[in-house]
Amino acid sequence: MNSCMKKVFWAAAFWLLCGVTAAEPFVSGGPIGSQTWDGYFAQGPVVDQPIEFPHNTHAGRMQINCMYCHTGARRSNVSAIPRLDKCMGCHNLLEEVKDRPRIKRLFWYWEHKQAIPWKKVHDLPDFVRFNHERHIQRFYFKQHRPVREVCGYCHGDIASMTVARRVKALSMGWCIDCHMKDHKVSATSTETIHGPHDCWMCHK
């Protein structure tokens, strides 16, 4: 082996070693978890809400329809975070839970006539228009699918969470994945249609 070949050999060995060690955690699915782009960004940050609203109690145990509180979902672009009087409509009458710390805080806002400063969890960029109404009208009202499933397409299983957390990617490729599929027009019909592909349907 002459000196030139030696150099090449050692260089190759060096880079191979570097490459293997550097790639190791990614190949073997190390600490990062799912290696796909969407998987990496899937879990949103934990949001500190003013009151740790227990979705698992309301939507899970009590089986309250999501749209009882998020009334905008069936008739407007945004699903809308309910106003304080929506909470108080029920909780004024629920004597047995009035001594709970979270309910006490709710009443504090009510007595001080302040809106609860809820924070947005599922936040899209400003150049995107997502229409809740179209999705709810199609999948809930026309196809008669259960509401937890319909909302869960994008929001995950909120009924098992306390404070809502973003668990889906909400990226454009993720949206398009579903828009490429053929969906039934209504519960009984066999006709299918896929979501719009035009840029200006969602981008504004």
What whole-number distance in Å separates Cα of residue 157 and Cα of residue 56? 9
The DSSP 8-state label assigned to residue 32 in this structure reads: T
Stretch that binds other proteins, among 28-36, 57-65, 131-139, 182-190 (CB under 8 A): 131-139
| CB of residue 201 to other proteins, shortest distance in Å | 8
Structure tokens at 148: 């937890």
The strand pair at 183-184 and 192-193 is best described as antiparallel
What whole-number distance in Å separates Cα of residue 166 and Cα of residue 100? 27
Q: Residue 155: which of 132, 184, 181 has the closest Cα?
A: 132
CA torsion, ordered 143, 147, 150, 156, to nearest 10 deg: -160
| CB of residue 173 to other proteins, shortest distance in Å | 12
| CB of residue 72 to other proteins, shortest distance in Å | 13
Length of the chain in terms of residues written: 204
Indicate the SS3 state at residue 15. helix
DSSP per residue, 127-138: TB---HHHHHII
User: Site mask, other proteins, residues 21-60, x = CB under 8 A?
Assistant: ----------------------------------------
Pick one of 137, 143, 162, 171: the residue that binds other proteins (CB under 8 A): 137
Pick one of 125, 173, 190, 191: the residue that binds other proteins (CB under 8 A): 125
Nearer to other proteins, 93 or 127 (CB): 127
Nearer to other proteins, 91 or 179 (CB): 179
Pick one of 28, 117, 127, 188: the residue that binds other proteins (CB under 8 A): 127
What whole-number distance in Å separates Cα of residue 181 and Cα of residue 187? 16
| CB of residue 140 to other proteins, shortest distance in Å | 14
C-beta of residue 136 within 8 angstroms of C-beta of residue 1: no
Nearer to other proteins, 73 or 87 (CB): 73
| CB of residue 199 to other proteins, shortest distance in Å | 5
By the rule CB under 8 A, 191 interacts with other proteins: no
By the rule CB under 8 A, 198 interacts with other proteins: yes
Exposed / middle / buried, residue 73 (Cβ in 10 Å: 0-12, 13-18, 19+): buried
Residues lying near other proteins in the complex (CB under 8 A): 125-127, 129, 131, 133-134, 137, 198-201, 203-204
